């Protein structure tokens, strides 16, 4: 495996920011995400399926991260309730890794499971995201059930993931340590394991994300306590997308199969929040109330 030249100053700064609380992945909920106080993994029994998309990574980056996943990280993701498929480099196709086949619960792939695509942030085109859904519709294996009702996309910091993968090797750590200020070496040795754990937690949604989408997900979930987090996220995301310009709009970050209708042209017609819903939803600001109402309407008509 070839060494990749890392921007030591940038990566060291990023590691420190991550151990201080900055997230390294975001998007659709993962099995570690808590929605209204309840862990997302508890909505359905068994692990979720994770599919890394490495098509946008350079060959050397893919080799480093694939080796790290195979030799080190895969069991650590499994205990975080993610079972891995082989990473994608071209065509979207679901094939479990040898470790996944060996460790999956009995009967796990005989029924549809929540699917989480893990894609490099800033490198994945909307056309590529559309390919995820098209592929899931075509596949007829029970695991995706001709499209899978529940799937979403989490985007990860590719540069940091490559660095963490390389720093998991003795040679990679030695090269990195040789490039930082000697006064920082003890801190580096302390922070690296914490950063690695944070990266793994972020991939599965194990650390809190802040923002209007997360707050709306909690609000909508409390009104629909039986709905799966991925379905709630899809509805909330679509309600938010209605308010964004074309360049800011997210595409296929979280979708149920029926929400393929969201490919219709924007703006979508919506009706105003009803007094009955406002009384049921409780204290929310007017803009929040309207978004939560729209998401609840979408969720109710799935």
Calpha distance 113→48 (Å, rounded): 6
Does 2 map to a domain?
Answer: no
C-beta of residue 181 within 8 angstroms of C-beta of residue 160: no
pLDDT for position 2? 62
Alpha helices in 72-157 (DSSP H): 74-78, 98-103, 126-138
| End position of a domain, from candidates 159, 182, 203 | 203
pLDDT for position 251? 58
Q: Are residues 169 and 89 in the same domain?
A: yes
C-beta of residue 187 within 8 angstroms of C-beta of residue 15: no
93-102, 106-115, 140-149 — which is least confidently predicted?
140-149
pLDDT for position 268? 66
pLDDT for position 258? 41
- pTM for the whole thing? 0.88
| End position of a domain, from candidates 160, 183, 203 | 203
Does 35 map to a domain?
Answer: yes
| DSSP string for residues in 205-263 | T-S---SHHHHHHHHHHHHSTTS-HHHHHHHHHHHHHTTS-TTT---SSEE-GGGGGGG
Calpha distance 164→7 (Å, rounded): 13
pLDDT over 50 (residue 210): yes
Higher pLDDT pick, 224 / 139? 224
**pLDDT range class, residue 261, cuts 50, 70, 90:** very low
C-beta of residue 223 within 8 angstroms of C-beta of residue 281: yes
| End position of a domain, from candidates 171, 203, 235 | 203
pLDDT for position 169? 94
Give me the chain's average pLDDT, please.
Answer: 86
**pLDDT range class, residue 256, cuts 50, 70, 90:** very low
Does 58 map to a domain?
Answer: yes
Range of the domain at 137: 8-203
pLDDT over 50 (residue 259): no
**DSSP label at 42?**
G
Calpha distance 57→155 (Å, rounded): 13
Q: Are residues 114 and 238 in the same domain?
A: no
Does 42 map to a domain?
Answer: yes
For residue 48, the cross-strand partners are: 82
Q: Are residues 197 and 221 in the same domain?
A: no
């Amino acid at each position: 495996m070839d060494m990749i030249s890392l921007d030591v100053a940038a990566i060291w700064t990023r590691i420190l920011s991550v151990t201080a609380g900055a997230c390294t992945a975001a998007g659709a909920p993962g099995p570690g995400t808590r929605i209204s106080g309840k862990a997302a993994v508890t909505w359905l029994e068994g692990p979720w399926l994770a599919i890394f998309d490495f098509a946008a990574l350079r060959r050397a980056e893919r080799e480093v991260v694939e080796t790290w996943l195979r030799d080190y990280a895969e069991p650590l993701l499994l205990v975080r309730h993610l079972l891995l498929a082989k990473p994608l480099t071209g065509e979207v196709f679901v094939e479990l890794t040898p470790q996944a086949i060996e460790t999956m619960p009995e009967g796990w792939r005989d029924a549809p499971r929540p699917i989480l695509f893990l894609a490099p942030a800033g490198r994945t085109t909307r056309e590529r995201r559309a390919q995820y859904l098209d592929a899931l519709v075509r596949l007829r294996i029970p695991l995706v059930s001709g499209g899978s009702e529940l799937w979403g996309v989490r985007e990860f910091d590719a540069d940091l993931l490559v660095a963490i993968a390389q720093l998991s090797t003795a040679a990679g750590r030695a090269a990195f340590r040789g490039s930082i200020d000697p006064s920082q070496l003890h801190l580096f040795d302390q922070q690296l394991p914490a950063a690695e754990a944070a990266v793994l937690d972020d991939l599965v949604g194990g650390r809190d994300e802040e923002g209007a989408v997360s707050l709306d997900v909690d609000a909508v979930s409390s009104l629909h306590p039986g709905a799966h987090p991925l379905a709630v996220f899809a509805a909330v995301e679509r309600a938010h997308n209605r308010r964004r310009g074309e360049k800011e709009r997210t595409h296929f970050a979280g979708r149920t199969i029926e929400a393929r209708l969201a490919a219709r042209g924007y703006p979508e017609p919506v009706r105003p929040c009803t007094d009955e819903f406002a009384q049921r939803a409780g204290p929310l600001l007017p803009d929040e109330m309207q978004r939560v109402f729209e998401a609840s309407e979408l969720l109710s008509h799935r």
